[in-house]
A and B are shown apart, each in its own frame.
Chain A
Amino acid sequence: MELLCCEMDRVRRAVPDGNLLHDDRVLQNLLTIEERYLPQCSYFKCVQKDIQPYMRRMVATWMLEVCEEQKCEEEVFPLAMNYLDRFLAGVPTPKTHLQLLGAVCMFLASKLKETIPLTAEKLCIYTDNSIKPQELLEWELVVLGKLKWNLAAVTPHDFIEPILRRLPQPSEKLPLIRKHAQTFIALCATDFKFAMYPPSMIATGSVGAAICGLQQDEEVSSLTGDALVELLAKITNTDVDCLKACQEQIEVVLLSNLQQFRQEQGDGSKSEDELDQASTPTDVRDIDL
């Protein structure tokens, strides 16, 4: 028993399975099923009356901060956003329910992906107790019903390893590229314009943007520019022009986030501690475009 307690600290995880990551069938199957899990429409236009795009951004930022503070697995946040978008694409919702829904979606995504999931009580505290655990549990069933219990959605994270394994990168550079790509994926999940893009394209664009950004400081890739984009596009069967456009959009989102960050820093209204918490997983500030 005591031994078990000692092991509770760190989450144990399996080593990456090279057989799965290198097998083309796995990547092909992911590409085949990924679009099943996209929201069915651009819901601000056709479903929602009360909820505005800036409110999605507010709740997404809050969700990211919760996931950050709780050190959730990287995929929890994008998966939770996928649930939220799919729910909102089908159910007209008043804005006062939005934070509850965000909490429910994190609750579900955490249970699906984590060894030690977030508890209902903890999520309610993060809403400043504006909702009760009982309400969270009841709405969990509602969201599950509306998502038809289809929770194992494909996210951009599922593509990161298969893509990286197919690039001619020196392996010591991979952790840094992976970390930056994950940051871009989180950024994309906060921005509604990426909500309807296939996860494979977001992943490919994020890896491309990560390598391009890092390349300016140090040699992380033997392939650059058009050759890199073409190889990336080939790996995930993406159109080259679409991929370039996606990568540019990702870089624009990064820039606007950086500007916002610098503004907040300039204001001096927030402490450094707080900014660290509010930022995305890695130091987006270090990426220079």
Chain B
Amino acid sequence: MSEPSRDPRPIPRGSKVCRRLFGPVDSEQLRRDCDALMASCVQEACERWNFDFVTETPLEGDFTWERVWGPGLPKGYLSAGPRGIQDNLGGGRLPSSSPALLQGTVQEDHLDLSLSCTLVPRSPERPEVSPGGPSTSQGRKRRQTSMTDFYHSKRRLILSKRKP
């Protein structure tokens, strides 16, 4: 990437810091563990957002996913970066997932589309679940996620005892 000669912080010749700590590393095992952990990350995200991020298809769940058209999106979401290349390798699955959305614009549609999600009440399908409170279920149409969704804050007892 950058020329080594321009590195402002070169590694000193014969640096003692360059060392392996726990013996040889098994590349095969690294690959297997990496794949397994990535799969579990994808699975967690899939359950969290009821969205299949591999095939980019919405699933059943709390969130309703809908396509958003290109013009209103910030540029960063539209670029055909590595993700766009991957999409092409994936084999044109996006148009097939919902052809109705591709009306009109034919050229490179999948790059100009994005998805937005909204948290909707599930009550429409089974109104008997909350007969008394249509207003409350309407009220939580959109909910923004916050850090607390990911981390539970809790107080801990610090330092069990103090030496006299």
Chain A residues with CB under 8 Å of chain B are 8-9, 33, 35-38, 55, 58-59, 62, 65-66, 69-71, 91, 94-100, 116, 119, 121-122, 125-128, 130-132, 135, 138-139, 141-142, 145-146, 148, 150, 196-198, 201, 239, 241-242, 244-246, 248-249, 274, 277-278
Contact = CB atoms under 8 A, between A and B. Distances in A.
Given A36-B153, A126-B18, A150-B147, A246 B9 contact: no
A135 B30 contact: yes
B16 interface: yes
Given A138-B34, A146-B37, A130 B24 contact: yes
B8 A139 contact: no
A96 B23 contact: yes
Interface stretch (B84-92, B105-113, B135-143, B155-163): B155-163
A125 B11 contact: yes
A36 B147 contact: yes
Contact of B159 (A97, A100, A242, A277): A242
Interface in B119-164: 147-148, 150-151, 153-156, 158-159, 161-163
A62 B1 contact: no
B19 A142 contact: no
Contact of B25 (A69, A100, A274): A100
Given A146-B41, A150-B147, A246-B159, A127 B20 contact: yes
Main secondary structure, interface of B, reads loop
Given A35-B154, A65-B17, A130 B25 contact: yes
Interface centre among B2, B22, B27 (most CB of A within 10 A): B22
Interface residues of B, number: 43
Contacts of B38: 138, 141-142, 145
B30 A119 contact: no
Interface of B: 1-2, 6-9, 11-12, 15-27, 29-30, 33-34, 37-38, 41, 44-45, 147-148, 150-151, 153-156, 158-159, 161-163
Nearest to B9: A70
A135 B27 contact: yes
Contacts of A116: 8-9
Nearest to A198: B158
Contacts of A141: 38, 41
Given A33-B147, A35-B155, A145-B45, 5 more contacts: A8-B6, A35-B153, A97-B25, A241-B162, A245-B159
A196 B34 contact: no
Nearest to B26: A96
A41 to B, nearest CB: 11
Contact of A62 (B9, B19, B26, B30): B19
A113 to B, nearest CB: 14
B162 A244 contact: yes
25 contacts: A9-B8, A59-B21, A62-B21, A65-B17, A66-B17, A70-B9, A96-B22, A97-B30, A99-B21, A100-B25, A116-B9, A122-B11, A126-B15, A126-B18, A127-B18, A127-B19, A130-B20, A141-B41, A145-B44, A146-B37, A201-B158, A244-B162, A246-B159, A248-B162, A277-B16
